[in-house]
């Protein structure tokens, strides 16, 4: 019997009041964005936001709760933009979206800051014992693709450096039930021959730094076959698959052809559209996927939005959380 877990890949929109308050406190320009040393007023505003984002998830009834990453001005590049050894460059496009982040220019070996660990432990204070806390980090392949390598290291060594950096960040995390590693670049800029094995090794390095279940979550389409096959060599508990954007049949083919870890994460709610899915639609999508596979039951199916949720206005992000929890309710 598969355990269905309602969750998200994090990175929520700020509540509307905080959009205004924080932009007044911080400013609008590139240099005003977060660098990890914000003053007490900003810290306390983010604490209020964090409490609110966790309340949103508890009220919706999600099974795993994330911190919500309200401080991640640079989306999943955030852990690097607050690390030593990194300078912030120009504003660059965030994948194929009309969103932008500051290019983290890595000039020397980055040092883990513990910034994400601090966020997670602050979040833990708001999460009751019977609800699982979930950590979220970028995967090493995506983070190395989003960053600019200005060190002496070649691309392979740079990926290893980023994996070591992330492993140290994971090592600093307090107790967490699951770790989502976001790896959209496996789809958007898939690794070439040879690099695919390195990407898998880098993911394995980060995953091995925690005892929690590790979900490597991908979105915007299917991972190409070879990188998918290599990904399965990493010691991970689940691969996250986007069933909303791109061709879901390719993802099904991957799993049929190459298998999957014992668990799976299914992106069944569209993180980039305000149309809110009916709980029955969500349940249908999960069952559709599970029915395609000849294998026995998955241990756990994480039922999630395909992408981060910051693309949405506040009211629709909340509605999506409710929909996810209600979808899992239908399945049980």
Partner 1 sequence: MVRVPDANRDQFRPESHPNDHFLLTTVVGSYPKPKWLNRADDLVEDPDSKFDADDLAEAHDDACRLITHEHERAGLDTVVDGEMRRNEMVEFFAHRIPGYEFNGPVKVWGHNYFDKPSVVEPVEYDEPWLVDEFEFTSDVAERPVKVPITGPYTLGFWAFNEAYETTEDLVYDLADLVNEEVEALVEAGAQYIQIDEPALATTPEDHAIVHEALDRITAGIDDDVRIGLHVCYGDYSRIYPELNDFPIDEFDVELCNGDYEQVEVFTDPEFEPDLALGVVDAHTAEVESVAEIKRNIKQGLRIVPPEKLTISPDCGLKLLPREIAYGKTENMVTAAREVEAELDAGAIDLENPLADE
The two tokens of residue 135 are 């950590």
User: What 3-state DSSP class applies to 86?
Assistant: strand
> Is 46 a binder of partner 1 (CB under 8 A)?
no
The two tokens of residue 313 are 């206005």
What angle do helix axes 115-124 and 155-172 make, rounded to 10 degrees? 30
Among 3, 17, 32, 192, binds partner 1 (CB under 8 A): 32
Nearest CA-CA partner of 26 in 1, 13, 43: 43
Stretches 21-29, 103-111, 165-173, 290-298: which one binds partner 1 (CB under 8 A)?
A: 21-29
> Is 204 a binder of partner 1 (CB under 8 A)?
no
Dist CA 136 CA 159 (whole Å):
19
> Is 91 a binder of partner 1 (CB under 8 A)?
yes
Size of the site for partner 1 (CB under 8 A): 33
> Is 146 a binder of partner 1 (CB under 8 A)?
no
Among 13, 221, 227, 279, binds partner 1 (CB under 8 A): 13
> Is 19 a binder of partner 1 (CB under 8 A)?
yes
Instruction: Give how far Cα 267 sits from Cα of 6, 169, 186, 303, Å.
Output: 11, 26, 15, 7
Per-residue x/- track, 56-75, partner 1 (CB under 8 A): -----------------x--
> Is 44 a binder of partner 1 (CB under 8 A)?
no
Dist CA 64 CA 79 (whole Å):
22
- Under a CB-based contact definition with an 8 Å cutoff, are residues 239 and 231 in contact? yes
> Is 314 a binder of partner 1 (CB under 8 A)?
yes
Write down the least CB distance from residue 243 to partner 1, Å. Answer: 18
Strand-pair partners of 198: none
Residue nearer to partner 1 on the CB measure, 14 or 147: 14
Dist CA 293 CA 82 (whole Å):
42
Stretches 94-102, 161-169, 215-223, 322-330: which one binds partner 1 (CB under 8 A)?
A: 94-102
> Is 101 a binder of partner 1 (CB under 8 A)?
yes
What does residue 149 show for φ and ψ, rounded to 5 degrees?
A: -85, 105
Question: Rule CB under 8 A: which residues touch partner 1?
Answer: 13-14, 16, 19, 22-23, 26-30, 32-33, 73, 91, 93-94, 96, 98-101, 272-275, 310-316
């Amino acid at each position: 019997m598969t355990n269905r877990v309602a969750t998200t890949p994090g990175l929520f929109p700020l509540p509307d009041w905080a959009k205004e308050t924080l932009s007044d406190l911080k400013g609008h320009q590139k240099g005003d964005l977060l660098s990890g040393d914000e003053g007490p007023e900003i810290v306390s505003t983010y604490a209020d936001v964090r409490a609110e984002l966790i309340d949103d998830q508890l009220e919706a009834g999600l099974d795993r709760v994330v911190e919500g990453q309200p401080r991640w001005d640079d989306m999943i590049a955030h852990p690097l933009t607050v690390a030593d050894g990194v300078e912030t460059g120009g504003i660059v496009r965030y994948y194929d979206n009309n969103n932008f982040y500051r290019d983290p220019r890595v000039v020397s070996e980055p040092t883990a800051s513990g910034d994400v660990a601090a966020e997670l432990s602050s979040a833990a204070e708001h999460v009751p014992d019977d609800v699982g806390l979930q950590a979220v980090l970028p995967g090493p392949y995506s983070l190395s693709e989003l960053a600019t390598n200005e060190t002496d290291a070649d691309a392979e060594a740079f990926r290893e450096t980023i994996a070591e950096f992330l492993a140290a960040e994971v090592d600093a995390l307090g107790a967490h039930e699951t770790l989502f590693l976001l790896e959209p670049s496996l789809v958007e800029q898939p690794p070439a021959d040879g690099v695919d094995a390195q990407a898998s090794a880098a993911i394995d390095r980060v995953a091995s730094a925690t005892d929690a279940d590790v979900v490597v979550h991908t979105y915007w389409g299917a991972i190409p076959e070879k990188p998918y096959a290599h990904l399965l060599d990493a010691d991970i508990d689940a691969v996250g698959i986007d069933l909303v954007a791109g061709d879901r049949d390719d993802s099904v083919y991957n799993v049929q052809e190459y298998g999957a870890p014992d668990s799976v994460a299914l992106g069944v709610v569209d993180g980039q559209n305000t149309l809110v899915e009916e709980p029955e639609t969500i349940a249908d999508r999960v069952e559709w996927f599970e029915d395609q596979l000849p294998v026995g039951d998955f241990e756990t199916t994480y039922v999630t939005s395909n992408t981060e949720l910051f693309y949405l206005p506040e009211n629709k992000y909340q509605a999506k959380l409710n929909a996810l929890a209600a979808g899992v309710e239908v399945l049980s």
